[in-house]
Chain A
């Protein structure tokens, strides 16, 4: 009897292993290999300022949060979609999305003008996830095991068939992406620099230093609304006067946005303006900040000012980009 049980268990384990290998082979067989273009840092005699014609109303948005889905088997089962939306409404968010794994949550009011369909894509080891924004359909394809840069690029290519806009979610979290990936990956618009799990600004600087114009998205990635450390702590301010989901997304991917980290959905400082004149950049905040830091190529510090509400910087010949980075709390 014992011998039979042992054989039976061994067969079950062996069969499960075979299923995993067969499924993985099926996924890998569909994937592709690529030749990637050499990274080319930003160049030119002009400055591109995404805030040049930015709308005057700033919409407070969270595009990444989880509710009960897939029969409660995924992380986020502590709350219903209704609970989640009510919580974000109480924190005065203009746009609050539910981004369940491979599912556009049906509890959302799709007729609401600010509705943005979004889901989190990725069922693989090490959490190489993406946010599919503005999607009409869900893509279930992924390379779950032993995925390489080429596989991650192919997944982005496949996602483009059903999603107009793609954000690479929490690149630093889980080890699903390497820093080097961002030198090469193309075909996505946004990178989730701020997420309650991780700060991924180094990954962003690698992409920008390689001349990839990708924009910030900042989200809670909330899985439990009763936890203050993951609710109302990271959000995106999008400049948009229309308050419609489509236009908010369009402005987000034009770079008319910035990321905020705060507490209880509040922050004591916001952006006033970013202006450029020839090769000079002026960043103005609503209030004085302890420090305003500008970083550039390879994430290196280019300028810094203490106790001021603005900073002026003139591009040096070797500068390719500058962005405001935060070191200390405002």
Chain B
């Protein structure tokens, strides 16, 4: 059997794994720019290959 841990604490607040990650605005929008870039080139690549396959331009 596997028991839950006994751990050190300050004796006051009940320990909880609360959501503590901070939203990184700059990192998020940089990532979104990359995503938009990937999307743009994917659609462009699709159009290019589609035309190649069907011999249109």
Contacts and interface: CB of A to CB of B under 8 A. Distances in A.
Interface of A: 7, 10-11, 14-15, 17-18, 21-22, 25, 28-29, 31-37, 42-51, 150, 153, 156-157, 160, 184, 186-189, 193-194, 201, 207-208, 212-216, 218, 255, 257-261, 267, 269-271, 274, 276, 281, 283, 285, 315, 319-326, 330
Interface of B: 1-11, 14-24, 27-28, 30-32, 35-36, 38-39, 42-43, 46, 49-50, 53-54
A260 B7 contact: no
A325 to B, nearest CB: 6
A327 B11 CA distance: 32
Which of B2, B24, B36, B38 has the most chain A CB atoms closer than 10 A to its own CB?
B2
B7 A320 contact: yes
Contacts of A326: 1-2
19 contacts: A14-B50, A14-B53, A15-B46, A22-B39, A28-B32, A32-B28, A44-B8, A45-B8, A46-B8, A47-B8, A49-B6, A51-B3, A157-B19, A187-B20, A213-B5, A213-B15, A216-B2, A255-B4, A321-B6
The interface residues of chain B, by DSSP majority, are classed as mixed
A233 to B, nearest CB: 13
Contacts, number: 175
Nearest to A32: B28
Given A34-B21, A44-B11, A213-B17, A267 B6 contact: no
Nearest to A37: B20
B49 A187 contact: no
Contacts of B2: 193-194, 201, 216, 218, 258-261, 323-326
Contacts of A184: 21
The interface residues of chain A, by DSSP majority, are classed as mixed
A21 B9 contact: no
B1 A34 contact: no
A260 B28 CA distance: 41
Contact of A32 (B23, B35, B43): B23
